[in-house]
A and B are shown apart, each in its own frame.
Chain A
Amino acid sequence: MAEMILEVSHLTICREGSTVVDDVSFTLEAESDTALVGPNGAGKSTLVQAILGVLPRRTGDVRVLGHALGPRGQLPPAVRDQVAYLPQSIALHGRFPLSVAEFVGLGWDRAALALPWRGGRARRAAVALALAKVGGEDLAKRLVSDLSTGQLKRILLAFCVVRPRRLLVLDEAQAGLDAQAAEQFHGLLFNLRRSEGWTILQVSHDLEMVRRTCSGVLCLNRSLRCSGSPDHALSPAELERLYGRGWVAYHHHHAGASRS
C-alpha cells in the first residue's frame, strides 16, 4: 500500500455559527497531485486552512505524515518543515523592506525562537539553490513588494522548495496570472513536483488545467460531492451536479481564458 501523506476523516468546520465544511473525508497518497474544485463559497479555502491548522475545526481528525493535527492546529516542527502552503496572494501594503533572498530564507528556518545569525551559511546556500530551481536568481536582491504577480508566485514556490517538503498545499495558485503566465507557473510546478517528490493538494478553478495535470479530483460544495480521477469527477454529469445546470456549457466557451 502506498504511503499516506494526508488523512482527513469526518472533518467539519464551522464559521460564525454556520457549517461551511461538512463531514469531509479523504486521503492523499504519496506523490499524488489532487485538485480541490467547487463553486465559490464551497469551503475550499476554509478546508485547506483547517488542514494546515490556520482555522479551527469543529470535529474530525487530520493526520499529516501520520501525525495527528492538534486541537489548536499544532504539528511537531519536524512535520511542519515538510509541509508548505502557497496562499492565494500576500497583501503587502506599500514598500516592504524585505529582499527576496530574505523572504525565501524564512521558508528555510523553523519558527522557534532562535538567534537570527544561526545557520547563516546553510541558509544562504539553500536560498540560492531554491531561487535557481524556480529561475529567479536575478530577483534575489529585489524587494518583495516590487515584484510583479508572476514573479511573486515564483518566489513563493522558491519559499516552498528551499527545504525538502512532502506536502504542498496551494490555494488558487494561478489567481491573478494571465493565461500565459498561468501556463508557465503550472509547467514549473509540474516539473518541481516530479523532481522533488511533492504530494500536492491544490484549490483550483481551472478545470482544463486540472484535467491535464492532476491525478485526482475532490469536488467540494460544503460536503464532498464526488472524488476520483479527473475523467470521472469532471464528467459533464458530475460537473452539473456540483456547479448546477448551465455551468458546463459556459465553461467550454471560455476554455483557457484566465480567471481571476
Chain B
Amino acid sequence: MLDSGFDPAHLAQLLALPFMQRALLAGLLTGLLGGLLGSFAVLRQLSFFSDALGHSALLGISLGVLLGLNPTLVLIPFAVLFALGVNHLAGRSQLPTDALLNIVYSSSLALAVLLLSRVRSYKGGLQQLLFGDILGVSWLDLGVILLLLISAGGYLLLSRRSQILLTIDEPLAISRGVAAGWHRLVFIVVLAVVVAISIKAVGVLLISAFVVIPACASRLVCRGFNAYVLVAALLGAGCAVVGLLASGAFDLPSGPSVVVVQLLGFLLALLVAPHSRLARP
C-alpha cells in the first residue's frame, strides 16, 4: 500500500538533503553511462554478458567481505578478470557464449551464497547487495562514476567508426584496418568496470536493466546511429532521475522504481514504433 501518498512538501524536504542530491546525481550519471555503453552492448548481443557479470559480481563482493576488504575495491579487479576470462573462453570454446555465461554466472552465484552463509554478520546486508543502496553513495563514489563516464565516453567517441564496423561485421571491420581483437577486449573491460561501479547504486539483480532497457527502447525508435546513442543515454539518465524522485515521493525502494520507469519508457517506445520488426512478436 502507498500509505505515505504524495506530498510535495515532503519531496522538497527530501531534495534538500545531501544524500538525496548525491543519489540523484549518481542516478543521472549511472543512467547516462548505462545507456551509452548499452547502446553498443545491445547491438553486439552482449546484453546477457552484463546480466551475467552483475550476478557473478556477488562472488567478488562476498570474497571482499570474507577477506575483510572494501567490497568495491575487490569488485573492479574481479569484474575485469571475469570479462577477460569470459572473452578468452568464448573465443576458444566450441560452446555458444550464452550457455558459457550461464555456467559461469550460476556457479559464481552459488559460490557467493555459500561464502556469505559462512559470514554471519553479513546476512542482513544481502538485500542491499541485491538491490543496491543509491542513498548510501558517497562523494568519492560520485567522482569515480564521473571519471568513468568521461573516459568511457571519450573512448567510444574517438573509436566510434571502428565500434560500429565491428558491430556490423568483424571481417569487414578488419579489412578496413580496425584492430578488432584489441577493441573487443577494451570494450568488454570498460563494460565490466561500468557494471562493477554501478552495482553499489543499483544492485546486482537490476544492473543489467540499466544497460539493456534504455538502449532497446532507443533502438526501436531511432533512425540514425548518433540519435540512437544519444537517446539511449538521455533515456537512461532521465528514467533514473524520475525513478529516484518517485521512490522518494512515495517511499518506494529506489532501484526497482528506476527499473519500472525504464520499463514504462520501453513500452512507450513500443507504442510509437508499431512498424518496427522487434515490436512484432
A211 interface residue per 8 A CB criterion: no
What is the CA–CA distance of A99 and B228 in the complex, to the nearest angstrom?
11
How does the 8 Å CB contact mask read for A49-87 relative to B, with 1 for contact and 0 for none?
100111000000000000000000101010010011101
What is the CA–CA distance of A84 and B172 in the complex, to the nearest angstrom?
9
Interfacial chain A residues near B175, Cβ < 8 Å: 52-54, 80, 83-85, 169
Contact of A106 among B161, B174, B179 (CB under 8 A): B161
Q: Whose C-beta in chain B lies nearest to the C-beta of A105?
A: B161
Interfacial chain A residues near B276, Cβ < 8 Å: 95
A97 interface residue per 8 A CB criterion: yes
Contact of B220 among A73, A91, A95 (CB under 8 A): A95
Give the interface size class of chain B: 35 or more
Contact of B174 among A52, A91, A94 (CB under 8 A): A52
**A68 → chain B closest CB, angstroms:** 15
How does the 8 Å CB contact mask read for B201-228 relative to A, with 1 for contact and 0 for none?
0000000000000000011101111111
A102 contacts B224, CB within 8 Å?
yes
Interfacial chain B residues near A84, Cβ < 8 Å: 175
A15 interface residue per 8 A CB criterion: no
**B32 → chain A closest CB, angstroms:** 18
* A106-B171 CB under 8 A given contacts A111-B162, A116-B157, A116-B161: no
B277 interface residue per 8 A CB criterion: yes
A109 contacts B43, CB within 8 Å?
no
* A141-B223 CB under 8 A given contacts A96-B43, A113-B159: yes
Q: Whose C-beta in chain B lies nearest to the C-beta of A51?
A: B175
A80 contacts B177, CB within 8 Å?
yes
Name the residue in A95, A113, A141 with the highest tally of chain B Cβ atoms < 10 Å from its Cβ: A95
A85 contacts B172, CB within 8 Å?
yes
Contact of B177 among A75, A93, A102, A103 (CB under 8 A): A75
B219 contacts A115, CB within 8 Å?
no
A107 interface residue per 8 A CB criterion: yes
B177 contacts A77, CB within 8 Å?
yes
How many residue pairs at the A-B interface have CB separations less than 8 Å? 92
Name the residue in A75, A85, A93 with the highest tally of chain B Cβ atoms < 10 Å from its Cβ: A85
B277 contacts A94, CB within 8 Å?
yes
Interfacial chain B residues near A226, Cβ < 8 Å: none
How does the 8 Å CB contact mask read for A114-140 relative to B, with 1 for contact and 0 for none?
111000000000000000000000000
What is the CA–CA distance of A83 and B161 in the complex, to the nearest angstrom?
17
What is the CA–CA distance of A52 and B37 in the complex, to the nearest angstrom?
30
Contact of A115 among B157, B169, B178 (CB under 8 A): B157
A90 interface residue per 8 A CB criterion: yes
B10 interface residue per 8 A CB criterion: no
Report B138-185 residues with CB < 8 Å from chain A CB. Answer: 157-162, 164-165, 168-179
A257 interface residue per 8 A CB criterion: no
B219 contacts A97, CB within 8 Å?
yes
* A95-B277 CB under 8 A given contacts A54-B175, A87-B171, A110-B177: yes
B161 contacts A97, CB within 8 Å?
no
Interface size on A, residues (CB 8 A): 39
B81 interface residue per 8 A CB criterion: no
A99 contacts B224, CB within 8 Å?
yes
Name the residue in B175, B178, B222 with the highest tally of chain A Cβ atoms < 10 Å from its Cβ: B175
What is the CA–CA distance of A75 and B160 in the complex, to the nearest angstrom?
21
Interfacial chain B residues near A224, Cβ < 8 Å: none
B169 contacts A97, CB within 8 Å?
no
Interfacial chain B residues near A115, Cβ < 8 Å: 157-158
* A73-B174 CB under 8 A given contacts A97-B227, A98-B224: yes
What is the CA–CA distance of A149 and B155 in the complex, to the nearest angstrom?
33
**A138 → chain B closest CB, angstroms:** 15
A143 interface residue per 8 A CB criterion: yes
**B54 → chain A closest CB, angstroms:** 22
A92 interface residue per 8 A CB criterion: yes
Interfacial chain B residues near A114, Cβ < 8 Å: 158, 161
Report B232-281 residues with CB < 8 Å from chain A CB. Answer: 276-278
**A166 → chain B closest CB, angstroms:** 14
Interfacial chain B residues near A113, Cβ < 8 Å: 158-159, 162
B128 interface residue per 8 A CB criterion: no
Interfacial chain B residues near A75, Cβ < 8 Å: 177
With A52-B171, A103-B168 known, 14 other A-B pairs at CB within 8 A are A52-B174, A54-B171, A54-B174, A85-B171, A85-B172, A92-B168, A94-B278, A95-B219, A96-B168, A97-B228, A106-B164, A106-B165, A111-B161, A111-B176
B residues near A (Cβ < 8 Å) are: 43, 45, 157-162, 164-165, 168-179, 218-220, 222-228, 276-278
* CB<8 Å pairs between A and B, sample of 11: A53-B175, A54-B175, A85-B171, A87-B169, A97-B218, A97-B222, A99-B223, A99-B224, A106-B161, A106-B176, A107-B176
